Chain A
Amino acid sequence: MATPLQFRPLLGHHFSSPSPLSRKNTHLFSSSRYATLTHKLVDMAFLCSSGQCCLVVKASAKSGSAGQSQSVKTVRHQPNHGAQTLNPVKKNSTLTTLPKAPPLVETTTTTALSPDLLETVKNVEVISRSEKNAVVPRVSVAGNYTVKGLFRQLVRQLASLPLAIAELFAIAGLSAIGTIIPQGESPEYYFQNYSDGKPVLGFLTWQWVLGLSFDHIYTAPYFLGLLLLLAFSLVACTSSRQLPMVKVARRWSFLKSEKAILQMDVTDTLPCARVEDIGTLLSAQGYEVFARGPSLYAFKGLAGRLAPIGVHAALLLIMAGGTLSAIGGYHGTVMVPQGLDFQLSDALRPMGILSMPADVLNNSVHVDKFYIDYRPTGEVGQFHSDLSIVNLDNQTVFSNSISVNSPLKYKGVTIYQSDWAISAVQVRVDGSEPYNLVMAPLQKGDNKLYGTFLPLGEDGVTKAKGISILARDLQSVVLYDQEGQFVGVRRPGSRKPIQVNNVSIVVDDIIGSTGLELKMDPGVAPVYAGFGGLMLTTVISYLSHSQVWALQEGTSLVVGGKSNRARFEFEKELNEILDCVPEIRTKKQRGDFSSTETATQKQ
């Protein structure tokens, strides 16, 4: 995508074909054109914070050749006055302000852009304001014993990296313990499995387990305290380390000496090259390029330095939301037979101190129908419940059908389909009116088994013999006779009678119960926001902040750069860029600029 730039070229000057006339009298930076508003705001911030006059070149074409014609746009700012320090300014410290800087002065023309590199005359005199002149304020040691000093000490201790790593290890270790020791069981379970006679791992008895709260480790005070400490560490690290580092990363300065550039991670010197060629190539690779005279600075991927702050902020948001969920809101579980209803205020219990009662709790929920979709193989397809919400005046205000992955949401209450049971079987015995036999659970869990009993004869309750009816699901029932012998299987609603002990039974229906989970959770919104933020910021944190400096020394160009994360990839990229920089060869004797040859320095 190459969108042409909208900026007007400066006096017809293009990088591709510099002509001698325009070169001599052109004050490339003396124009009074100011940046257009298509410039991004962050670029403006960079230019303003440095207080320097810069030439900004932006290109969206991804071409490697220097023959690309680029339009040029200039920005000039008055330098801002006042001190610029590296460390965050502390209130108690004494701060020396720099004297008011004189405005920028351009004394002579610059000919650093000439193709005839033998006669480079660097006459640009700009009063530079680099950070080397800044005075770093020092906090006096005597201030350590004040409350503010102690607080600052505390913050510094909390922000230390070894502490953070130790906290993360501790949380990981305790969480692992929680997966090995079953959580939330009754004390008898631990008496049996971690008994004194046979301790696990040689020493772990139930006293250890219950005493150290290993049976509910995720809500134990020390675990929650550890999470709180992690939260404090996150806040301390963000405020005392990350934010100042971002300020430092955003400030940059041109490097004036070859030695400074050669100290970078990746350096090279190109014998016959021009600084604006590398500027064009870098901007084609997505760098933001700033050039002034013989110096050049380019960077890319600054978001990779800002994103870790977002990661910490998102984690804090998630923790806050989780806390809100844990101690605020309502939660409950019900098992309701089809056709019955329940009050929301009965079913929902408050979670903790931040639970706020709401008007929606006045309503009741009526289970219109509960049914299960079965596949042809007999397996369960999906569970469905048709629910309607009825208000105090017995009017249905809302109704919906829910299934396992689609809950019902109404005014902050969410109702999930989570379980099911069999409530009763409707039979007709010897042609009577249909009546319900309540079924009792014989086995719960994954393999449910429900049964009921139809007594025969008049021997009284204690000696009653009768017909047993068992059901595993809503598809069929199994009938056993008085002696416990298997008689047959019937599908409800098939209207086929079955003879058991001279009694004719028709099974009309099986009535199920729906197991619903209800929740009112105010913490879901911040938690979801934190989730989204965390996903985004961890992805952006992958970017590496790459910086390149270049300096024109006579005919040769010194280039150096570094990247905070992607060292090898940056090396390779810079390598490829430098391979594409054209080598300028001129006919020195005649100074004939029209016969310059260019050749690329391809290896």
Chain B
Amino acid sequence: MIFIILERILAHTSFFLLFLITLIFWGKTIYTRNEKLDHFGKKGMVIAYSCVTGFLLNRWIYSGHLPLSNLYESSMFLSWSFSLIHIILEVRSPNFWLGTITAPSAMLTHAFATLGIPKEMQQSAVLVPALQSNWLMMHVSMMMLSYATLLLGSLLAIAFLCISFERNTDFPVYYYDTKPSIFSFLRRDLHSSNREKKGSFLQKKFCLLSIDYRRWRLTQQLDHWSYRIIGLGFPLLTIGILSGAVWANEAWGSYWSWDPKETWALITWLIFAIYLHTRMNRGWQGRKSAIVASLGFLIIWICYLGVNSLGRGLHSYGWLI
């Protein structure tokens, strides 16, 4: 009984916190700096992360298996992955726009899990014989983590497209050839010796207005980080698909049977492989590769949710809506 009460408390607390944090991060883009709210946003994300972790651990202890066996648990795991990625990226390189994308993602998947799935399907059930395997942990957790990273990268690419949409001139967002010395913009006090020595940056070819420069800088950052995050999610997706194939071989004797879920996971993999290859060509970096990544966003949702509604195939028993 204590488990059920705890589960409910943790679910409600984490949802409430994620909602507040979403509001704070979205509000950050509107109002100017408010240190206390900024601080609360950062800390709040950590607290929400620990609440969802507690929820998953609670469910694990209660049901005896890793909480990944039905749609409800996997959606909560997806929400947890989003907050985990947010924390990792905040630590590595903090920026102001990351929270505006990860916080609502975490909140919305959490909301889908708790509000969008009927109560009967939220119960933790015992595992059917086919799921009683150690491969369950590796395959499903890797797939959910990869979904979270790839969704985040695709969302950044969509944000890039939105922000760079109404641009008149075609800024070369991929190379820095006639650029100001990037260091002098990163460091707050400029090295006067640098400027005198090499000719001031104002003498370079394009002289940017400050607003446009910031937007250009933002689109560059979005482009770069969507590439890096998708580049991180792609190996995770590979590991997830391949561990699923090995599991299928151990359980059913065939490592690839063109099941709809398997096939759509392969299509997701192919789309992101295309994305990574378009980045190799300098002319396609920027808008064209962002379009591919946006397509990837759609395909991940088809792979995760759309296939279950077909009702056919090996993956349909536990996850059917």
Contact = CB atoms under 8 A, between A and B. Distances in A.
B245 interface: yes
A414 B249 CA distance: 10
Nearest to B184: A268
Interface stretch (B9-17, B30-38, B266-274): B266-274
A391 interface: no
A568 B264 CA distance: 33
Given A172-B270, A176-B267, A603-B189, A538 B238 contact: yes
B263 A404 contact: no
Interface residues on A, range: 35 or more
B61 interface: no
Interface string A9-31: 00000000000000000000000
B316 to A, nearest CB: 10
A447 to B, nearest CB: 13
Contacts of B234: 538
Interface of B: 92-93, 126, 128-130, 132-133, 135, 176, 181-183, 186-189, 191, 193-194, 197-198, 221, 224-225, 227-228, 231-232, 234-235, 238-239, 242, 245-246, 249-256, 258, 260, 263-264, 266-267, 270-271, 273-274, 277-278, 280-281, 307, 310, 312
A566 interface: yes
A566 B228 contact: yes
Interface of A: 161, 164-165, 168-169, 171-172, 175-176, 178-179, 182-183, 218, 262, 265-269, 271, 322, 331, 375, 377, 379-383, 403-407, 414, 416, 418, 517-519, 524, 527-528, 531, 534-535, 538-539, 541-542, 565-569, 571-572, 575, 578, 603
A263 to B, nearest CB: 8
B93 A572 contact: yes
Contact of B277 (A161, A416, A518): A161
A405 B188 contact: no
A568 B132 contact: no
Contacts of A566: 228
Contacts, number: 139
Contacts of B128: 380
A416 B252 CA distance: 6
Contacts of B92: 569
Contacts of A183: 258
Is chain B's binding surface mostly helix, strand, loop or mixed? helix
A575 B249 contact: no
A-B residue pairs, 3 tightest by C-beta:
A538-B235, A405-B133, A404-B129
Contacts of A271: 193
A415 to B, nearest CB: 9
B238 A575 contact: no
A325 to B, nearest CB: 8
Contacts of B130: 404-405
A534 B133 contact: no
Given A168-B274, A381-B126, 19 more contacts: A161-B277, A161-B281, A169-B270, A176-B263, A179-B310, A182-B312, A375-B126, A380-B128, A405-B132, A405-B133, A405-B251, A407-B250, A517-B253, A528-B246, A535-B238, A565-B228, A566-B228, A569-B228, A578-B183
B49 to A, nearest CB: 23
Contacts of B239: 535, 538-539
10 contacts: A268-B183, A268-B191, A269-B191, A519-B254, A531-B242, A538-B234, A542-B235, A571-B182, A575-B183, A578-B183
Given A179-B263, A262-B198, A535 B176 contact: no
A268 B181 CA distance: 7
B252 A172 contact: no
Contacts of B263: 175-176, 178-179
Contacts of B126: 375, 377, 379, 381
B213 to A, nearest CB: 16
Contacts of A578: 183
Nearest to A179: B260
B125 to A, nearest CB: 8
Contact of B253 (A161, A266, A407): A407
A266 B182 contact: yes
Nearest to B261: A179
Nearest to B234: A538
A467 B249 CA distance: 44
Contacts of A171: 270
A542 B314 CA distance: 32
A372 B274 CA distance: 47
Nearest to B302: A176
B253 A382 contact: no
Given A179-B264, A571-B186, A603-B187, A404 B232 contact: no
Contacts of A535: 235, 238-239, 242
Contact of A380 (B129, B176, B238, B273): B129
Q: Which of A175, A178, A183, A262 has the most CB of B within 10 A?
A: A175
Nearest to B246: A531
A172 B183 contact: no
A20 to B, nearest CB: 28
Contact of B231 (A172, A322, A403, A542): A542
